[in-house]
A and B are shown apart, each in its own frame.
Chain A
Amino acid sequence: METLTLMGMGFVHALSPVNLFAMFASTAVGVTIGCLPGLSAAMGVALLLPVTFGMDPATGLIVLGGIYCGAIFGGSISAILIHTPGTPASAATAIEGYQLTLRGQAAKALTTACFASFCGGLLSCISLYFFSPLLAQLAMKFKSPEYFWLSLFGLTIIAGVSSKSMLKGLMSGVLGLLLSTIGMDPMEGVPRFMFGQAALYNGIDTTCALIGLFSMSQILILAEKKIVQRPRAAEFKDAFGLSGKEIRRISPTILRSWVIGNIVGILPGAGASIACFMGYNEARRFSKHKEEFGKGSIEGVAGSEAANNAVTGGSLIPTLTLGIPGESVTAVLMGGLIIHGLQPGPALFTTYAGMTYTFFAGFVIVQFFMLGIGILGCRGFATIARLSDAILIPSIFLLCVVGSYAIHNNYTEVIIMMIFGVIGYLARKFDLNAAAIVLGLILGPIGEKGLRRALMLSDGDPSILFSTPICWALIALCVLGVLSPMLMGRMEKKMAAQHENC
């Protein structure tokens, strides 16, 4: 009953004019970022993080959620119209979507993508509402040793899964942990590795690191490539909308992709780019019109888009309840949460329940905005998708500078952002893992406090770290996290083989 009241109150707060405007604007910005090939959802969320500083935490989180959902959907616009996925999450959409465009059915493909994204996102909110409080209750049993293992688990899973080499991923994570020690020692109160900079007293600012690693590094990546004019989006004259028969046809696919996307989202380490291919493959496997696949199938578009948007709600579950972001976007979102003074965990469902349920309600309403903006604005977004890198490079840099300067109104943050930009660029070039570095930075203080407090309580006896069944369960999960690249590698190979066979 109490939860229902909180849910209701969440909607009441989320429907305030300020929040509604924030949802509209953030979703539109997210779709814009998503439809621009080369820009990612993580980059968008990181870049716009400073804009949320002046907002109420719930509104700030709604803005970040809007950008996240909008960007994941936005990738499908350029995938369908110019055969270039705006984000990796829409790679599978490009296969069938562009074929439909070539057949003069671009509007149908866009409507299908929009409708499937809306359904996938909306349905994923059900699991967000249902599973998050349950997992948060489990997290209430966690004490210092458990928090130490939890942070280690978060690190192993993201480091292991998101890079080609597990060792490189783990090295990135430990590097992030090492960088998180810059600043005041939390137990001894002595300065560590501060290089005489008073601005580093509280450690490296997460926002600066996020902007540098995801946005500034993108500028360097864009700057090194030859600037070419993107292809003109295909003209389309067919009408928007789906018939009842078409909706009935794609409904089972959407439901299937919702389940897939949700599971993939909840599992740390996977992500929208894997979910879209899984959703697409399952759509093809169960389709009664297999002959249409490869020539333009609305089921293919729906399968991919429903799955990648179903990831959004699912991926927030471990992020909000346990503080384990499964991929780079949720790592950035978690950074945003911490910046607003909120620590992921049970407190979000007790002390800050009002704020959390307002965010959840906002996340639901964002899906409706996404549907409206997607259908009404896709012609405009198709034009934006052609925006040259020559304009994007200085514009993004300007936003990086002003965003990092706005944190504490000084140049040190801007310099730190630029340093992290170079680290991010080199990490991307040499297959290190930027998401793991960020996660190390975020989880470092939690893990350090957990470890040192636990050792202090036990007078330095390390057996306290193995004293409860939850500790052992988390250790087992850490081992699984280390082994997961092999499992994911096999899964990807299997899917690639299936795709080639068809």
Chain B
Amino acid sequence: MKKSDIGIIAIMYGICAFFFFMTVELPEEAQTYPRCLLAGLCVLNTLYMLRCLLRLRREGFSNDLPQIFSGFMHSQFFLVVLCCIGYMLLMYAAGFYVASIVYLTGVMLLLHVPRLHILLTVGVLALLIYAVFTLFLKVPLPVGVLFS
């Protein structure tokens, strides 16, 4: 049995419990189908747990998380994630194009991309998105609360 299996089993049971709790609010006729699916997921998860337990008896317990996350660059990963969240917030405030330019430049600077490449990437992407989404698809991209 691997350490990651515990997480998978717990999350799956958690999802089952959460959705089961939600089905209580539904009328009786609408409960049947989701509950059938939940029962199916529960059975499969229990079978998986039993298989893991059999493996535990046969092969013992192993921590596979270092293998799964081998070479994981914590600071880089969370920096990128934070920038993505920041980009979403900035887009709401300052609009799509301003936020995109700031986001692209910021992330690429943080990831040590040469400045010329940053300039080219920002220019190409801005043009591409303007041509495809604004001119062709006529999508009203967010202008932001500051400029609206």
Q: Is the CB of B7 within 8 A of A448?
A: no
Q: Is the CB of A190 within 8 A of B30?
A: yes
8-32 of chain B: CB within 8 A of chain A = 8, 12, 15, 19, 22, 26-27, 29-30
> Given the complex, which residues of B lie within 8 Å of A225, measured CB to CB?
71-73
In the complex, what residue of chain B is closest to A448 when comparing beta carbons? B33
| Cα of A399 to Cα of B133 in the assembled complex, Å | 10
Taking the nearest CB of chain A, how far is it from the CB of B112, in angstroms?
7
Interface size, A (range): 35 or more
Interface: A178 (CB within 8 A): yes
Encoded as 1 (CB less than 8 Å from any A CB) or 0, chain B from 64 to 104 comes to: 00001101110011001101100110011000100010011
Interface: A174 (CB within 8 A): yes
> Given the complex, which residues of A lie within 8 Å of B37, measured CB to CB?
174, 177-178, 181
Q: Is the CB of B132 within 8 A of A51?
A: yes
| Cα of A190 to Cα of B29 in the assembled complex, Å | 10
Taking the nearest CB of chain B, how far is it from the CB of A188, in angstroms?
4
| Cα of A401 to Cα of B84 in the assembled complex, Å | 10
Q: Known contacts A178-B34, A190-B27, A192-B26; is A227 also within 8 Å of B137 by CB? A: no
| Cα of A116 to Cα of B117 in the assembled complex, Å | 35
Taking the nearest CB of chain A, how far is it from the CB of B46, in angstroms?
10
Interface: B141 (CB within 8 A): yes
Q: Which of A165, A393, A429, A452 contacts B80 (CB 8 A)?
A: A393
Q: Is the CB of B140 within 8 A of A409?
A: yes
Q: Is the CB of B41 within 8 A of A178?
A: yes
Interface: A226 (CB within 8 A): yes
Q: Which of B12, B38, B73, B104 contacts A398 (CB 8 A)?
A: B104
Q: Is the CB of B121 within 8 A of A395?
A: yes
* A-B Cβ contacts below 8 A, count: 142
Q: Is the CB of B48 within 8 A of A171?
A: yes
Stretch of A216-224, A316-324, A327-335 that contacts chain B: A216-224
Q: Which of B77, B91, B104 contacts A223 (CB 8 A)?
A: B77
In the complex, what residue of chain A is closest to B33 when comparing beta carbons? A448
Taking the nearest CB of chain A, how far is it from the CB of B32, in angstroms?
9
Interface: B115 (CB within 8 A): no
> Given the complex, which residues of A lie within 8 Å of B87, measured CB to CB?
397, 401
Taking the nearest CB of chain B, how far is it from the CB of A191, in angstroms?
9
Q: Is the CB of A390 within 8 A of B34?
A: no
> Given the complex, which residues of B lie within 8 Å of A50, measured CB to CB?
137
| Cα of A225 to Cα of B84 in the assembled complex, Å | 17
Q: Is the CB of A398 within 8 A of B48?
A: no
Taking the nearest CB of chain A, how far is it from the CB of B141, in angstroms?
7
| Cα of A365 to Cα of B68 in the assembled complex, Å | 43
| Cα of A167 to Cα of B5 in the assembled complex, Å | 12
Interface: A391 (CB within 8 A): yes
Interface: A472 (CB within 8 A): no
In the complex, what residue of chain B is closest to A428 when comparing beta carbons? B68
Interface: B54 (CB within 8 A): no
> Given the complex, which residues of A lie within 8 Å of B108, measured CB to CB?
390-391, 394
SS class of chain A's interface: helix, strand, loop or mixed?
Answer: helix
Q: Is the CB of A429 within 8 A of B68?
A: yes
Q: Is the CB of A192 within 8 A of B113?
A: no
In the complex, what residue of chain A is closest to B139 when comparing beta carbons? A406
Q: Is the CB of A188 within 8 A of B27?
A: yes
Taking the nearest CB of chain A, how far is it from the CB of B93, in angstroms?
12
Encoded as 1 (CB less than 8 Å from any B CB) or 0, chain A from 160 to 184 comes to: 0000010110110011011001000
Q: Is the CB of A181 within 8 A of B33?
A: yes
Q: Known contacts A51-B132, A223-B76, A224-B72; is A188 also within 8 Å of B139 by CB? A: no
Interface: B138 (CB within 8 A): yes
Q: Is the CB of A226 within 8 A of B15?
A: no
Q: Is the CB of A53 within 8 A of B113?
A: no
Interface: B145 (CB within 8 A): no
> Given the complex, which residues of A lie within 8 Å of B41, measured CB to CB?
171, 174-175, 178
Interface: A240 (CB within 8 A): no
> Given the complex, which residues of A lie within 8 Å of B56, measured CB to CB?
none
Taking the nearest CB of chain B, how far is it from the CB of A375, in angstroms?
25
Q: Which of A51, A406, A411 contacts B92 (CB 8 A)?
A: A411
Q: Is the CB of A398 within 8 A of B100?
A: yes
Q: Known contacts A224-B76, A451-B33; is A398 also within 8 Å of B103 by CB? A: yes
Cβ-closest 7 pairs across A and B: A390-B111, A223-B80, A394-B107, A406-B139, A54-B137, A188-B30, A167-B48
Interface on B for A, CB 8 Å cutoff? 4, 7-8, 12, 15, 19, 22, 26-27, 29-30, 33-34, 37-38, 40-41, 44-45, 47-48, 51, 68-69, 71-73, 76-77, 80-81, 83-84, 87-88, 91-92, 96, 100, 103-104, 107-108, 111-113, 117, 121, 125, 129, 132-133, 136-142
A sample of 19 inter-chain contacts (CB < 8 A) reads: A165-B48, A167-B51, A181-B34, A190-B26, A192-B26, A192-B30, A193-B19, A224-B77, A225-B73, A227-B76, A227-B111, A390-B111, A394-B104, A394-B108, A395-B125, A401-B87, A409-B140, A411-B142, A430-B68
